[in-house]
Structure 1
Amino acid sequence: MRSKKTIFFILSLSIFSSMLGVGVISPLLPTYVKTLGATGIQLGVIFAGFSIARAISMPVIGKASDLYGRKIFICTGLFIYTLMSIGYALSKTAFQLGTVRFLQGFAAGMIMPIATAYIGDMAPKGKEGTYMGYFYVAFFLGFGIGPLLGGFVSDYFGMKTAFFTMGGFNFIAFILAFSLLPGAEIHRQGDKAHISYITMTRESELIKGLFTFRFTNALARGIFACFLPIFAGIKLGLPGSEIGILISTSFLLNGIFQAPGGRLADRFSRRRLVVLGIIVDILCLSLIPLTNSFGQLLSICIVSSTARAICLPSATAMIAGEGKKYGMGSSMGIFNMALSLGMACGPLIGGLVSDSIGVKFTFYFAAGVELVGILLFAFFTATKMDRR
């Protein structure tokens, strides 16, 4: 049996490689969709289809992994991801690309919740924050470096080469997971892993609170990622290079700060860290419309990244605690489903706000959503002052 450190390293390397591949195409996909003649509505459907498919599959796969083991699902997800990467390059119509995106979203539902369930299985009691923090470093660094690599590959070798690059990185992740991850060696079912999601959410106020936090935070993040480049480019007139620095800085610093954020989660009240991180993020979102320079926006991105790195490991550690009761896969499945739903709804709702009253109000709306979310989180978790 491999040591926990070895398994953790293999899993983190697999996720880093997979997210690096996903990040490679993130700045290229809108342009590629347009070359296939997609309308604005089709573009929205293609992007939303991924998140919808992922949201549907996550809770189903999460519970199945509690019953049948983790490895088969994460390996299957990575392999389908590899095949769908080839599908991007072979797509000739918007419908074909939309189908590929939907199937890839389904595969994505087998990767992240299962990976975090593996980590939750391994983490000793009281060390969940540290384990989750270091894991998220691999996740965010992969996704943050990917766009930089994707731009280089596309510029010098063509856009379709970038899709094959994504497939290559995910195939490497598949080989690592298939060859080196354990099957049932560290897998533990919760005492109540057999119960339904309805019963689980009815019993656990903590799960209600964490789902609310994850959904509203993801919705706000979706608005931020979608409309910050628009605000910076159109309202402030920043060049593409500076906008790229803003986005990359946000992802990379968020990744780097996950490790100390995880250590904090094991030393202080996780509930209070979540509340603190979101309050700071609300202030950052509210200040974005008031900025008038690159330096001001960059400062906000740095502070916001730090705030998110404080709250995410704490929240994931809290859900891992519930996972030991209700099944780690089930708990991580519903937690990550909230992420997918929020990321799907954020750009759509933000678009309505932007079209109705202006792009700067999307950030005020995002701040308001996070405020409602953190108030509900505080209400649901009021009797759980510290889940350690």
Structure 2
Amino acid sequence: MHKQLKIYLTMFSFFVLGETMLGPIYAIFVKDIGGNILDAGIAWSIFMLISGIGIYLMAKIQDRIKKYTKFMIGGYLLISLGFLGYYFVSNVIQLFLVQILMGIGTVIVVPARDSFYTEYLEKKNLASQWAAWESLWFIVAGIAALLGAFIANKFGFKFLFLTMFILSLIGLVIATQLKDKNGNKSIH
């Protein structure tokens, strides 16, 4: 496996850990800020629709620019700010705004990260290198689900959101070591 993929997977694991800590207990958080099941569904729908529509459009832009690491840093930065934004959410409208920010970050990240990962794949090991990404996601998300529930139960949601934010910042620091195939570093 190429060194850049190893760096990417390390960085990605910190983001997955932070991102998936909230998943199983998301509806409880929505209820805690005065929302209900419908509000949780609306918030998730906002994120998914923005992401789904925007990813296709952003990919067209990124196909022309091809500075994948810069897009990844920008997108992951917005997602990190979204994690921090959860800390300040006290009502459903604020939650919807954070979901918009998270969706925009995802729009920027997904085409860039997929393209970056694809650039460094070894043709003879496609299945195992994609499996490394996918299995990492499931394993880390499984750990994060339990860890997030424990943290929220023991210390509260605000502490959980700060933990998510800190994990994402660690991921961002690691991401500064990524280089596009043409040698462009994410940060110069």
TM-score (norm 2): 0.89
* Structure 1 position 13, deviation (Å): 0.8
Query: What does residue range 192-271 of structure 1 map to in structure 2 within 5 Å?
Result: none
1:122 aligns with 120
* Structure 1 position 70, deviation (Å): 0.3
Q: Which has the larger radius of gyration?
A: 1
Quick one: which of 55, 59, 65 aligns to 1:58? 55
2:142 aligns with 144
1:379 aligns with none
Looking at structure 1, the residues matched to 169 and 52 of structure 2 have their Cα atoms a distance apart, in angstroms, of: 23
* Structure 1 position 184, deviation (Å): 4.8
Give the length in aligned residue pairs: 183
* Structure 1 position 136, deviation (Å): 1.6
Alignment partner of 1:165 is 2:163: yes
C-alpha contact (below 8 Å) 1:83/1:167 kept by paired residues: yes
SS in 1 for 2:123: coil
Query: What does residue range 259-338 of structure 1 map to in structure 2 within 5 Å?
Result: none
Instruction: Mark the CA change 1:134 to 1:74 in structure 2 (over 3 Å): closer, same or farther.
Output: same
TM-score (norm 1): 0.45
Looking at structure 2, the residues matched to 62 and 126 of structure 1 have their Cα atoms a distance apart, in angstroms, of: 26
* Structure 1 position 97, deviation (Å): 0.5
C-alpha contact (below 8 Å) 2:62/2:111 kept by paired residues: no
C-alpha contact (below 8 Å) 1:53/1:103 kept by paired residues: no
Q: Which moves more between the two structures, 10-19 or 101-110?
A: 101-110
Instruction: Mark the CA change 1:113 to 1:136 in structure 2 (over 3 Å): closer, same or farther.
Output: farther
Instruction: Mark the CA change 1:166 to 1:7 in structure 2 (over 3 Å): closer, same or farther.
Output: same
* Structure 1 position 176, deviation (Å): 0.8
Instruction: Mark the CA change 1:22 to 1:13 in structure 2 (over 3 Å): closer, same or farther.
Output: same
Counterpart amino acid of residue 83 in structure 2: S
Looking at structure 2, the residues matched to 141 and 114 of structure 1 have their Cα atoms a distance apart, in angstroms, of: 23
1:100 aligns with 98
Instruction: Mark the CA change 1:97 to 1:152 in structure 2 (over 3 Å): closer, same or farther.
Output: same
Looking at structure 2, the residues matched to 39 and 155 of structure 1 have their Cα atoms a distance apart, in angstroms, of: 19
Query: What does residue range 57-96 of structure 1 map to in structure 2 within 5 Å?
Result: 57-68=54-65, 69-96=67-94
Alignment partner of 1:13 is 2:10: yes
**Mind listing any 5+ residue stretches in structure 1 that lack a counterpart?**
188-388
C-alpha contact (below 8 Å) 2:119/2:181 kept by paired residues: no
Looking at structure 2, the residues matched to 149 and 135 of structure 1 have their Cα atoms a distance apart, in angstroms, of: 21
C-alpha contact (below 8 Å) 1:16/1:142 kept by paired residues: yes
SS in 1 for 2:34: coil
Looking at structure 1, the residues matched to 153 and 145 of structure 2 have their Cα atoms a distance apart, in angstroms, of: 12
4+ long deviations beyond 4 Å: none
Looking at structure 2, the residues matched to 111 and 62 of structure 1 have their Cα atoms a distance apart, in angstroms, of: 10
Looking at structure 1, the residues matched to 58 and 141 of structure 2 have their Cα atoms a distance apart, in angstroms, of: 23
Looking at structure 2, the residues matched to 181 and 101 of structure 1 have their Cα atoms a distance apart, in angstroms, of: 27
Cα displacement string for residues 237-263 of structure 1 (whole angstroms, at most 9, x for unaligned residues): xxxxxxxxxxxxxxxxxxxxxxxxxxx
Instruction: Mark the CA change 1:134 to 1:186 in structure 2 (over 3 Å): closer, same or farther.
Output: farther
* Structure 1 position 140, deviation (Å): 1.9
Instruction: Mark the CA change 1:121 to 1:184 in structure 2 (over 3 Å): closer, same or farther.
Output: closer
C-alpha contact (below 8 Å) 2:21/2:145 kept by paired residues: yes
Cα displacement string for residues 36-71 of structure 1 (whole angstroms, at most 9, x for unaligned residues): 222443222111111111112212222322222101
Looking at structure 1, the residues matched to 38 and 150 of structure 2 have their Cα atoms a distance apart, in angstroms, of: 29
Alignment partner of 1:48 is 2:41: no
Cα displacement string for residues 306-345 of structure 1 (whole angstroms, at most 9, x for unaligned residues): xxxxxxxxxxxxxxxxxxxxxxxxxxxxxxxxxxxxxxxx
1:333 aligns with none
**Mind listing any 5+ residue stretches in structure 2 that lack a counterpart?**
none
The percent identity for this pair of structures is 22
C-alpha contact (below 8 Å) 1:18/1:170 kept by paired residues: yes
Quick one: which of 33, 36, 58 aligns to 2:33? 36
Give the CA RMSD over aligned residues: 1.8
C-alpha contact (below 8 Å) 1:116/1:132 kept by paired residues: no
**Larger relative contact order (C-alpha < 8 A, sep ≥ 6)?**
2
SS in 1 for 2:108: coil
* Structure 1 position 112, deviation (Å): 3.6
Alignment partner of 1:24 is 2:21: yes
